[in-house]
Structure 1
Amino acid sequence: MGFPVFLLQVTSHNESSDPRLILLLLIKMINKSRGKILGVLALFLVMVWYSIYREDRYTQLFYFPVQENNKTTCPLGEVEKKAAQLIGNYTRDHPLFLQLKDYFWVKTPSLYELPYGTKGSEDVLLHLLSITHHSLPESIQSLKCRRCAVVGNGPRLRNSSMGDTINSYDVVIRLNNAPVHGYEQDVGTKTTMRLFYPESAHFDPRAENNPDTLLVLVPFKPSDFQWMEAILNDKKRVRKGFWKQPPLIWDAKPEQVRVLNPYYMEVTAAKLLNLPMKQPRKVKQKPTTGLLAITLALHFCDLVHIAGFGYPDSANKKQTIHYYEQITLKSMAGSEHNVSHEAVAIKRMLELGLVKNLTYF
C-alpha cells in the first residue's frame, strides 16, 4: 500500500492516534517516498487553490451587495452629458422658479399659455411673485454635489423599507399630497421640495412636510395662480375653474412657496413625450407631476435616483396606483396622462444610466 493512502487511513480511522506515531511514520517514509510526498503536497495545494477559486466565483456570481450612496465621490457632469442624449438643446441656464423681475422690470414674453408658458397670466402672476421667493436655500446652493431622490407615489414603495435610504439624499423631492406620517419606514421623513397643484395640495402643508420644505406650485391653468395668490394674501377664495375643490385654508408661509418655471413642463412634454405644445381640447395630454419632477431634477442635480415609480399592468384594474390609498388605474381614465408613454421615457433614462431606480419599475 502506498504512503498517501496509508497515512489517510491512519488519520481517518483512528483519530485518537498519537501524533508522535504519525510523525515517526512520516519521517520514516520520507526517505523512501520523497517523490510521492512532493506529489501529495502539490495535489493538496492545487485542491486548496481550487477551493478558494470556487468560493470567489460563488461570491462574484451570487452575492449582491447593497449599493450604498458614496458621499465622497460625485459624478460631476455625468447627468448633463447623458441628459443631452435624451433632451434636445439641453441646458441648465433656465431658472428653476419664476421670479418677480421677469414680470415687473422686464416683461419676458412667453410663447405659450399655461401649462407650457405664462402668456396671458402675467398680471396675476406679478401679484403672486411679489410675496413669494425664487431662490434655492443656501444649504442646497452650497453643495458641491447635489444627490437627489425623486419619490413617486406608486405602490412599489409599500413594504419597501426604503425610508432610511431616501432620507440619506441631499435633496428629496415629493409629489402632491402623498403622506409621510405612518409610512416613515417605507418613504422616509425628509422633504426638500414638494411639487403640487391646487387640486393636489394637502389641506395642512405643515403636517406632511419639514419646516423648511419648499412648496413648489406647478401651474396648469391661470386659476392656479389666482388660488395661490388669494390664499397667501388672505383674499376671497377662488372656487371656480378646478376639477376638484382645492383647500380654502392652506397654512403655509409665503417664503416657503415657489412657482415652478413652466419651461420644465414644456421640456417634459415636448422633449420626453413628444407632445405638441398646442393640442385640440378634446385630446389634450399633459405630463404627470412625477415625470415633471424627474425632469426638474435632471436640470439641477448631479445624481438622480428615483423610487416609487411605475404603474401596474393596464389589465389589472384592481391594483392600486398609490402606496397610501386604494384608488386604481381606472381612476386615471380621464386624467389627460399617458402613463404608457411616460414609462417608456423613464425606461430610456434607466437604459442611459441617466437615473437609477431604487425600487423595481
Structure 2
Amino acid sequence: MKFKVSVFIFLLGLTGIGLFWRADISPYVTLLAQRPCACDRCLSEGDSLFQQRFSKFDEPFLSANYNLSEDNFNWWKRLQGEVRSLTAYRETVERIFQLVPATAHVEASSPGRCRTCAVVGNSGNLMNSHYGPLIDFQDVVIRMNTGRTKGYEADVGAKTTHHIAYPESAVDLENNTRLVLFPFKILDLDWVTKALTTGFTGSSYLPVKSNIKANKDLVMVLNPAFMRYVHDVWLQKKGKYPSTGFMTLVLALHICDEVHVFGFGADSDGNWSHYWEQLRDKKLKTGVHSGGEEYNMIAELSKHQILKFYTGW
C-alpha cells in the first residue's frame, strides 16, 4: 500500500511540474525560439542607427552563380585603376571557381546559439592590452593583412579562423584557416588562382608572393558589390574607398550575431602604426581611406551597443 501511495504522489508531482511548465515557462521558451540567436542581444535586433546603415546583403561573398552588375563593376574598377573589361573580370572569376568551392561557407543564425566574432585589427594599441584570451574565446577570429600572432599571443591571441588578405598583403596560413580574398582589381583574382597552383608571375605596386600556403577548399572571395555597399551606405561615400579593416568589421556584422572589435585606432601621430612595428612614413595617416570617419562610426556603433569596442591604450 505504501508503494502505491508513493507512486501516486510521484505521478501527481510530475503532473504539477507539467502544468507549471505549460503555464509559466513555455511562453518564454516559445519567445526564445522566435529570436534569431541566443545572444543577450542579436544584431538583427539593432536600434535605429544600425537599421539606417544595415541592409541584409544576401551575398557578401562571390559564388559561381553570382553575376556582378556592370554598374558595380565600373565602380570597383576605379579603385586601383583597372583597365580591363567586365568580360575579362567574369572569365577570371570563372577560373577561380574551378579551383575553390562554388559557394562560401557562412553559418546561418540560429535561435539555439550565439555566433561570436573577434575582428582583430593591427593597431599599436594592442600592445600590453592582454586581450589575447578574450580574442581566442570567440567562435570566429578574423585577422587581416600581415597581422601576426607569434610572440604577441598575450595581447592579440593565437587563434585565427579567417584571414583577410589581398596579393600585396598575403601571408602563409595554417591549413584550418580560411583565406578571405579582398579583390581590388582583376590581378588580385588572377593571383589567388595561380598562387595556389602553378605560381603567380605578374607584378603589382608592391612585391607579391608567387605562391601562398593556404587551403584552397577554405578560400572565400569578397563580393565587389559589398565593397561599394560599405562605401556608399556605411561611410556615405567618404574617402576613395573603405579600408580593409572597416570592410572586415562590416562583414562581421553580416556573418556574426555578436561582434568584438580590437586593434583599431591611430597613434599620437595620427597614423595607424602596427603593434609589431612603427610606420616609417609619418605623413601616411590613413592614405586614401577616411580613417576618421571609419573610427567615428566604430565608436558610434559601440556607444549604441551594436558591437563591443576594445580600445587598448
Q: What TM-score do you get using the length of structure 1 for normalisation?
A: 0.66
1:135 to 104, 112, 135: 104
Where in structure 1 are there 5+ consecutive unaligned residues?
1-71, 277-283
What whole-Å deviation, never above 9, does each CA across 1:149-195 have from its counterpart, x for those lacking one?
A: 10110011111111111100001111111111111111111111111
Secondary structure in 1 aligned to 2:206? coil
- 8 Å CA contact 2:262–2:310 kept in 1: the answer is yes
1:172 to 131, 141, 147: 141
Is the aligned partner of 1:92 residue 2:60?
A: no
- 8 Å CA contact 1:115–1:265 kept in 2: the answer is no
Output the CA distance in 2 between the equivalents of 1:348 and 1:262: 26
Percent pairwise identity: 30
Output the CA distance in 2 between the equivalents of 1:75 and 1:114: 41
Output the CA distance in 1 between the equivalents of 2:124 and 2:49: 30
Is the aligned partner of 1:82 residue 2:46?
A: yes
Output the CA distance in 1 between the equivalents of 2:286 and 2:272: 17
- 8 Å CA contact 2:200–2:210 kept in 1: the answer is no
- 8 Å CA contact 1:273–1:342 kept in 2: the answer is yes
What whole-Å deviation, never above 9, does each CA across 1:221-273 have from its counterpart, x for those lacking one?
A: 1111121122223155222xx22111112122311211112233122211121
1:125 to 82, 90, 93: 93
What's the CA shift for 1:114?
Answer: 6.9
What's the CA shift for 1:87?
Answer: 5.6
**Aligned AA (2:148):** P
Secondary structure in 2 aligned to 1:247? coil
Q: Relative to structure 1, is the Cα distance of residues 147 and 110 closer, same or farther in structure 2, using a 3 angstrom cutoff?
A: farther
Output the CA distance in 2 between the equivalents of 1:331 and 1:245: 22
Where in structure 2 are there 5+ consecutive unaligned residues?
1-36, 78-84
> For residue 260 of structure 1, what is the aligned residue in structure 2?
222
Instruction: Look at both structures and tell me which one has the larger radius of gyration over its CA atoms.
Output: 1
Output the CA distance in 2 between the equivalents of 1:298 and 1:258: 17
- 8 Å CA contact 1:115–1:219 kept in 2: the answer is no
2:180 to 194, 199, 216: 216
Q: What TM-score do you get using the length of structure 2 for normalisation?
A: 0.76
Secondary structure in 1 aligned to 2:303? helix
Secondary structure in 1 aligned to 2:282? helix
| Aligned length in residues | 267
2:201 to 210, 216, 237: 237
**Aligned AA (1:151):** V
What's the CA shift for 1:341?
Answer: 1.4
What whole-Å deviation, never above 9, does each CA across 1:210-231 have from its counterpart, x for those lacking one?
A: 4311100001111111211222
Is the aligned partner of 1:181 residue 2:181?
A: no
Q: Relative to structure 1, is the Cα distance of residues 172 and 236 closer, same or farther in structure 2, using a 3 angstrom cutoff?
A: closer
Secondary structure in 1 aligned to 2:46? helix
Output the CA distance in 1 between the equivalents of 2:282 and 2:51: 31
1:251 to 206, 213, 224: 213
**Aligned AA (1:301):** C
1:109 to 69, 87, 90: 69
**Aligned AA (1:74):** C
What's the CA shift for 1:73?
Answer: 5.3
Alignment RMSD: 2.8
**Aligned AA (2:98):** S
What are the residue-to-residue correspondences of 1:138-177 with 2, within 5 Å?
A: 144-177=113-146
Q: Relative to structure 1, is the Cα distance of residues 320 and 326 closer, same or farther in structure 2, using a 3 angstrom cutoff?
A: farther
